[in-house]
Structure 1
């Protein structure tokens, strides 16, 4: 039945449906490219580039260098240790799908910088097309403006940098669309690749679990046992792949703690070496940033999330999209230490754009898009551009 429904939907689509998302992608990339180029021309010499680097070099700074190390050298079996005996920053924090694809593309003669950016650009185009289809399924009528919000968002330059974000968003949008259309066979294939591109398997397992509970409580008669077993299996499959990289790191290094120690090394520059206790990282981080005012900031963040996800404007958005956002935000609340990378880490919550797309009237929509574009240079300046006294890792 699901296959017949998909065929019917495809038959009803305009054969040129792809023109809008492709055109919007092109416009958004021209905007981000112009901004990145302008900042590159003002970039001083730094650890990654000479002064005034070309656009490719400027687009592959920061963590892109770690992906380069993975592409060229793979992963270490002996982890670096600092003077106090703690594991230092190393390549295991970066998953293999994106750098390995770049390594394959380099066989054509492209340098690392060109291969990395080419993959991100191609993946971002694929994401625009798939996300448009997904948005049309989740909230018909909102798909155009929602996609514009995502592609012109303050963090949109990431979609063409030497990071795995664009590829992950493409895989995630495809997985969410497969879930919406109940094309379960796609999920069996997509979830492992997604989980080895960026962390996401555990959040997707939680989203499927929430969907199972909702359907079991609301649709007992219309929720057959076969489908229940399928969802349980997919949830377990997603959770397994969510732990797969930790397992791989353990096998390669011989230490169960190696992956978590690697991840914790990045936040130690802020708060020193601390154990990971789920759901404590945001209070710790906000206290580090804002001192005794951190409860107010935490309350504001929680209130904003509740308003966006539970307000009347969200009810018109398909349940799958809302449950994914809830699950992903819970995942971030459990393990993520808030710092400048948080802005790009919020990009997988892109179905929230369907909620923002409900804004009216037309002038308010125009102001929202203008604000998105205006904040792109702010993000580039504060979170990407390397200054004399840089304080952040994007």
Structure 2
């Protein structure tokens, strides 16, 4: 009887699996809201808000204004030119899914600030549920602490700001879970939406390509032809959508270089106008930040990445998660110029939390989680808060 009762209790627990991620999400949003509210009370007059703005205004500064422009006006067919004749900052740098969904919410009477924050908060809740299932598949037994690390991470406030991050992470978690479960039909749908929310299609295509090679190397005879064709097709589909926004921008503006020039306009503030040569932005950026010490910083970053992905603590994590981490980091290494937004751009490596969740003993786990929480107001203050001379775009 006791064994039957225990079995029944475990079955009920599995049926109510959503209670844990829901509770974690609620606690995490209370924590982040408290930090945002406290620092909003210290915000002075800025280009985005009055002094001491309310929480909604404080949560929709910076690039949220670009999303507002897209929601209200769409995208320009003629790109703005600076005094140097180069393309300036414009709305094409911001993909359409998030602002269009926010626009739908505005049609029912919500103001932009309320629509943007509501969309982000709702997406963060859905992300918590899907990510929990993903962690349970990738690293059984680590899912609770892994999700806690993500939802209480130093960048966790972004999940409720007027940015597309929480929606993108939801779609990414869904795509990774579909990949893990071989639910290929979901990937055909999720990949285009994900790729038009935040850049990620090219990295996902690379991850699928790496998985193809791993499968081929490990057991060619046990790699069915139908599955090979499926992976090739999905990889090509993801790569196509990875270039989808560039193609759309080209068609709308009539210029093949318009999207690339738009993206380059943001880094020209730091290093002037330069062409994009893959895998050179990080050496250039680190030299700009740290001078002659840049090789040491680059070596340190590479060492941390190798230790994270190749250490014994990573082997217990499903290969799909590890391959995504490798692919996305390679993508960032190829195209991203390191600056203050880098922290936000690292959010898609959230599956790394399943690796960090292996830390022991209990006091070390508590310290890691406490450090994550303590760094939230640090990020808000140095990257989100505006002090009038601020260049640390979040």
How far the C-alpha of 1:324 sits from its partner, in A, is 0.2
Partner of 1:4: none
Give the superposition deviation at 1:108.
1.0
- Residues 343-365 of structure 1 deviation map (CA, whole Å, 9 limit, x = unaligned): 01101000100110000000000
Secondary structure of 1:109's counterpart equals coil
SS of residue in 1 equivalent to 2:86:
coil
Counterpart residue number, 1:7: none
Offset at residue 388 of structure 1 (A): 2.9
Larger CA deviation: 102-111 vs 383-392: 383-392
| Alignment partner, residue 5 of structure 2 | none
The residue that corresponds to 2:219 in the other structure is 219
Matches within 5 A, 1:286-301: 286-301=286-301
CA distance, structure 2, for counterparts of residue 86 and residue 26 of structure 1: 46
Query: 1:135-174 counterparts in 2 under 5 A?
Result: 135-174=135-174
SS at the partner of 1:367? helix
Following superposition, the deviation at residue 389 of structure 1 comes to 2.1
Q: Distance in 1 between matches of 2:190 and 2:379?
A: 31
Structure 2 CA distance, aligned partners of 1:383 and 1:114?
22
Task: Give the distance between the partners of 1:344 and 1:85, measured in 2 at CA.
Answer: 30
- Per the alignment, residue 118 of structure 1 pairs with 118
Partner of 2:34: 34
In structure 1, distance between residues paired with 2:268 and 2:12? 54
Matched with 2:236 is 236
Q: Deviations over 1:91-146 (max 9, x none)?
A: 00000000000000111100000000000000000000000000000000000000
- Which whole-Å CA distance do the structure 2 matches of 1:256 and 1:47 have between them? 33
In structure 2, what is the Cα distance between the partners aligned to 1:222 and 1:151?
A: 38
Q: Structure 2 CA distance, aligned partners of 1:340 and 1:14?
A: 41
1:93 is aligned to: 93
User: 2:309 maps to what in 1?
Assistant: 309
Closer/same/farther in 2, CA of residues 35 and 185 from structure 1, 3 Å limit: same
Cα 1:13–1:241 shift into 2, 3 Å: farther
Matching residue of 1:365: 365
Distance across 2 between alignment mates of 1:352 and 1:127? 16
Shift of 1:13: 7.1
Instruction: Please say if 1:250 is aligned against 2:250.
Output: yes
- What CA distance in whole angstroms lies between the structure 2 residues aligned with 1:18 and 1:237? 32
1:221: how far off?
1.7
- Give unmatched runs, 5+ long, in structure 2: 1-10
Residues 49-64 of structure 1 aligned to structure 2 (within 5 Å): 49-64=49-64
CA distances 1:314-370 after superposition (whole Å, capped 9, x unpaired) = 000000000000000000000000001000110100010011000000000000000
Paired residue secondary structure (2:133): helix
Distance of 2:17 and 2:101 partners within structure 1: 29
Structure 1 stretches of 5 or more lacking a match? 1-10
Partner in structure 1 of residue 278 of structure 2: 278
Which residue matches 1:8?
Answer: none
CA drift at 1:12: 9.3
The structural deviation recorded for 1:391 is 2.1
Q: 1:77 corresponds to which residue? A: 77
Structure 1 residue 265 corresponds to structure 2 residue 227: no
* TM-score normalised by L of structure 2: 0.97
1:14 Cα deviation after fit: 1.0
Task: Let me know the Cα RMSD of the aligned residues.
Answer: 0.8
Aligned positions, number: 384
Structure 1 residue runs of 4 or more that deviate by more than 2 Å after TM superposition: none
**Structure-2 residue corresponding to 1:6:** none
Aligned residue in 2 for 1:3: none
Are the structure 2 counterparts of residues 234 and 12 from structure 1 closer, same or farther at C-alpha, using a change threshold of 3 Å?
Answer: farther
1:391 corresponds to which residue?
391
In structure 1, distance between residues paired with 2:110 and 2:307: 47
Shift of 1:26: 0.3
Instruction: Tell me the TM-score normalized by structure 1.
Output: 0.97
- C-alpha distance in 2, partners of 1:13/1:211? 33
